[in-house]
Each structure stands twice: as structure tokens, then as C-alpha cells.
Amino acid sequence: MRRQKSWWPVSVLAASLQLAMSACTGSDGGPPPKPAAIPAPETVALTRDTTQEETEVLYRAEQMRIRDCMRRQGFDYFLVPRRPVPEMRDFPYVVDDVSWAAKYGYGSTLYRLNELALEKDPNERYFESLPATRRAQALLARNGDARNGDLLVDVPGIPNTVTSSKGCRAAAQRELYGDLPAWVRADAVMTALVPLRQGAVTADPRFVKAVQRWSRCMRERGHPYASPAQARDNVPRLVRHVGPEQSGPADAPAAETALAVAEATCANRTGLAATARQVDQEHAARLRAQYRADVAAGQRLQQQALPGARAIVAAG
């Protein structure tokens, strides 16, 4: 439910960086964290993931409850969109949408708009405007004591995550999901599975072979890159100036769109796009089976939270 920023919207590295930044181990003094709830037996059945619309409802409801909690403690808190630039898309393996590439390239102008939105985030600006002591109090009210978290997610194969059961964010999640330790654990696992899955896909021999076909196709078009990641890394940073007055995304620079269109065209013609989708689905299924209890718990908690979340959003 967090707002994110990353360099290229199409980069597989974004999810890995997100995981690395969110995971932490140990605490700075105080009692050792308690492990989050023990999952249900591995035989528990998976249901379904939340839709984009449902995810937005859950996010907004959580933000509204954080706002109400912060106000009760004498602080301001503003509702901000989860995705400030809806046009941004994630292509973790290869850009495969020719129409999107023709308009946005690799998403450089979208990225800049997203950066501007984050720079203008009213909550961050509000916190920064407060005197140091008051700012610390506001952050403690929102996040709890992040340095002395009392909820530990310790799952084999997943980096440890420590968070606090105190603060307005935890209170909002407790109201929505009921079992806060179970939700913290499930959310951490589901988040971590994204880079684990993407790493497995890019190392899969079928994907590697398809990338070789894609590379030959690109060379024939004058783009000598061994992989989509290499092509992306060599895109000139021709990001147009995007000013505060601009309300919508501009078309990407011509050089960027030309390379992105070639990438997408070759991805479809060589079968790389289809291979990536198939291999991604297989590794997703494997990881879901490996972490079935936690994934099922996350799905169940989200579905159970939706009626209450819709009521919160409807009430304003």
C-alpha cells in the first residue's frame, strides 16, 4: 500500500530496490522483536489476488484512517494518490507494448512527472516544515518507533522485516485487516515474492535463449544490445523539462521512443514477450506454492478487509 518511486518504470530493479529498502534486521535497543503470526497449515487454499480497483480502495481507506488518527493527535495528514501518474506501467522483462512505447518510450517523462509529484507530497512538506522536536513527534505518531520495532517477519528465503505495532499506520492496518501481525507477515512475503520471481525468470534458460533471439532482431535494426536491460541502460537521459504547470504526461523524446518501439517490436516477433509471460507464470506458481500459507493469508485478509474499506471510503 505504499507509494513508490523508481528510475525507469520498466526496470526489473525497481522491485529489488524496494525490497532492499524495506527490509531491516535487528533493532536499536529495547526488547527483541516478536515474530509475526505463525501461518496456517500449508494445505490452505489460495483464493485470488486483489484487483487494481480493490487495491486502490484498500490504500485509500488506510490513508483516510491514518489521517483521522493523526488529526486526533494534533497533526495534519493529507490524502495523496497511490499512483500519481496512472500512465506509468511496469515492464519487468521487456517492453512489449508497441503503442505505449511509441508514445512514452521507456517512460522518462512519466518518471519525471512522478518525481515532481513526490517532491510536492504535502505530507513530506508538512513534516519538513515542523520544528525538529515536533517533526519527530509527528513521525512517531504516524509510524510508531521504527528503530525499536516489535513485529518481526522471519520467513526462510525472505529478508527479515522489522516494523512497529504502534502508530497511526499500524492502527489503520489493524482496523482494516484485524490481525496486524498476520497482515504484516503476509504483506512482507507477497512484496518479497516479486523480486524473487523476476530474478528466477531472468535466470531461466528459456528466457535467456529468447533474449538471444531478441538481441539478433535488435542488431538487424541497428541496436546492438545483448539484452533489454542493456538497451534501457544506454538510453540517453533525454528527459524533457517538465514544469509544475504541466498536468499530463508529454510524449517521450524521439530517440527514446525509437529504441523502445524497436525493443517492443522484436519482443513480439521473436517470442520473447510470450516466453517471458509463460516463464513468469510458472515461477509465480512455484513461489506461491512454496509460500502458500502466507500468500493465502494475505489474499484472505485483503478480501475480508474490502467491505470495511469501501464503507470508510464512502463515508469520506
pLDDT in tens, 14-38: 333 333 333 343 334 444 455 555 4
Secondary structure class of 152 (helix, strand, coil): strand
151-153/161-163 β-pairing = antiparallel
Q: Are 297 and 190 in contact (CB under 8 A)?
A: no
Region 3-9: mean pLDDT is: 46
Residue 9 lies in a domain: no
Confidence at residue 245, expressed as pLDDT on a 0 to 100 scale = 46
Assigned C-alpha cell, 205: 534458460
Residue with more model confidence, 269 or 115: 269
DSSP string across 31-43: SPPEEPPPPPPTT
Residue 2 lies in a domain: no
Region 283-293: mean pLDDT is: 95
- How far is the C-alpha of 229 from the C-alpha of 109, rounded, in Å? 19
Round the average pLDDT of the chain to a whole number and report it: 84
Chain CA centroid to CA 73, Å: 29
Q: In the chain, pLDDT over 70 holds for what percent of residues?
A: 80
- How far is the C-alpha of 49 from the C-alpha of 58, rounded, in Å? 13
Residue 18 lies in a domain: no
Number of domains in the chain: 1
- How far is the C-alpha of 252 from the C-alpha of 123, rounded, in Å? 30
Residue with more model confidence, 38 or 296: 296
pLDDT one-digit tens code per residue, 56-105: 999 999 999 999 999 999 999 999 999 999 999 999 999 999 999 999 99
Residue 116 lies in a domain: yes
Q: Which of 187, 6, 3, 194 is nearest to 83 (CA)?
A: 3
Q: Give pairs for 164-168: CB < 8 Å, separation 24+.
A: 167/140, 167/141, 167/142, 167/143, 168/65, 168/66, 168/69, 168/70, 168/73, 168/77, 168/141, 168/142
Q: How would you write 262-295 as a 3-class SS string?
A: HHHHHHHHCCHHHHHHHHHHHHHHHHHHHCHHHH
Residue 42 lies in a domain: yes
For residue 119, the enclosing domain spans 24-315
Residue 277 lies in a domain: yes
Region 163-171: mean pLDDT is: 95
Residue 5 lies in a domain: no
Q: Look up the pTM and report it.
A: 0.80
Kindly tell me if the per-residue pLDDT of 151 is higher than 80. yes
Region 132-137: mean pLDDT is: 96
Residue 13 lies in a domain: no
pLDDT one-digit tens code per residue, 242-267: 444 444 555 567 888 999 999 999 99
Kindly tell me if the per-residue pLDDT of 40 is higher than 80. no
Region 267-271: mean pLDDT is: 98
Kindly tell me if the per-residue pLDDT of 229 is higher than 80. yes
Region 208-233: mean pLDDT is: 95
- How far is the C-alpha of 146 from the C-alpha of 28, rounded, in Å? 9
Confidence at residue 33, expressed as pLDDT on a 0 to 100 scale = 55
